[in-house]
Amino acid sequence: MKLKEDDELDFFKFGENAFLVAKKEDIAALLSKNAPKNEDKNKLSNEEIAVLKKLDTLRYNMRSKQNVEKILNNDERKILYELMKKNIVKVFTNEGKQELYSISKDVYDKFLMRKKEGEKIAEGPKKEINASREIEEKYGIEHEDVKKLEEKGYVVLQTEAEAASISIALEESIKQGFVIGIRSFNKKFYIMLRSFFDKYAPQIIKILGGGEAKVEDIARMLGIEEEAARGILYLLAESGDVSEKKKDLFVLT
């Protein structure tokens, strides 16, 4: 982490004997970095899809720069770099400090898996429910916000420090798209299990198909808490599916 004299920092407790320091300007990006803009995701050329398919022929732990460049020609490498600029292909560092290429989950589902509209992701919950145990084994601590996330399907955080803490704790789940999140205009961080979002988002779209609706009414119809409905709506707004006409009143776009 590079620091400048005027950078604002948050210093907060992560575990019983551990503390973390984070730049405020970087914290919000931790949760949203795996969400490229909708326009980029929905407009892939046949050449771009072909490169993604080639990349997908390699198992994730084999997608090093060296291995990937072996299977791509010069033109395909240029396309790969453009996909990286669009945040559709990302580079992550594994525990062995090796940089690996990863395909954005929603792009993978749409163009490679060819899932039918509304189909749920079966593998998500199994991975998510092990997060607390994995964190405890890795760090020797319990993470309260992660426990709440798993119990309720979502959690709302008030500060950058809390968001940074859960982002670091769930780094791998966020990278793989099992956990998603957004910082809203009210400055709160809405963190959600992808399976929770996938369960209720289509129902909210259906409700809004009948016209504008308030958050409280949507929550009541779905039998969920208002903050849960609000978080899903903010995520849908980020992808361009809905818009907030006025405070807590949403419509389809």
Distance (Å, whole) CA 80 – CA 224:
41
**pLDDT band of 224, cuts 50, 70, 90:** very high
Judgement on whether residues 124 and 103 belong to the same structural domain of the protein: no
Residues 108 and 232 in one domain: no
DSSP element (H, E) containing 15? strand 9-15
Task: Name the pTM for this structure.
Answer: 0.52
Helix boundaries (H) for 153-251: 160-169, 171-175, 194-208, 215-222, 226-238
Last residue of a domain, one of 71, 91, 113: 113
> Are 248 and 131 within one domain?
yes
Instruction: Say how far apart CA 239 and CA 200 lie, in whole Å.
Output: 15
* Domain membership flag for residue 9: no
pLDDT digits (tens, 9 = 90+) for 62-96: 888 888 988 999 999 999 999 998 888 888 776 56
Residue 216 lies in a domain: yes
For the chain, give the mean pLDDT: 77
- Asked if residue 125 and residue 109 are part of one domain, the reply reads no
**Tokens in use for 33?**
């970095």
pLDDT at position 119 over 50: no
Residues 134 and 92 in one domain: no
- Shared-domain flag, residues 150 and 103: no
Which of 113, 134, 161 is the C-terminal boundary of a domain? 113
246 — alpha (psi -120 to 50), left (phi > 0) or beta? Answer: beta
Contact (Cβ atoms closer than 8 angstroms) between residue 189 and residue 163:
yes
Domain with 245, as residue range(s), is 120-252
Q: Is residue 7 part of a domain?
A: no
Say if residue 165's pLDDT is above 90. no
Residues 131 and 78 both lie in one domain: no
Q: Is residue 31 part of a domain?
A: no
The tens digit of pLDDT for each residue in 20-56 reads 556 655 555 555 554 444 445 557 888 998 899 888 8
* Shared-domain flag, residues 126 and 91: no
pLDDT range class, residue 132, cuts 50, 70, 90: low
130 shares a domain with 206 = yes
CATH number of the domain that residue 230 is part of: 1.10.10.10
* pLDDT-based confidence at residue 251 (cuts at 50, 70, 90): very high
**Neighbouring residues of 67: CB distance < 8 A, sequence distance ≥ 6:** 58
Q: What is the mean pLDDT of residues 203-227?
A: 95
Whether 108 and 133 share a structural domain? no
Query: Among the three residues 92, 113, 134, which one is the final residue of a domain in this structure?
Result: 113
Number of domains the chain contains: 2
Whether the CB-CB separation of 25 and 164 falls below 8 Å is answered with no
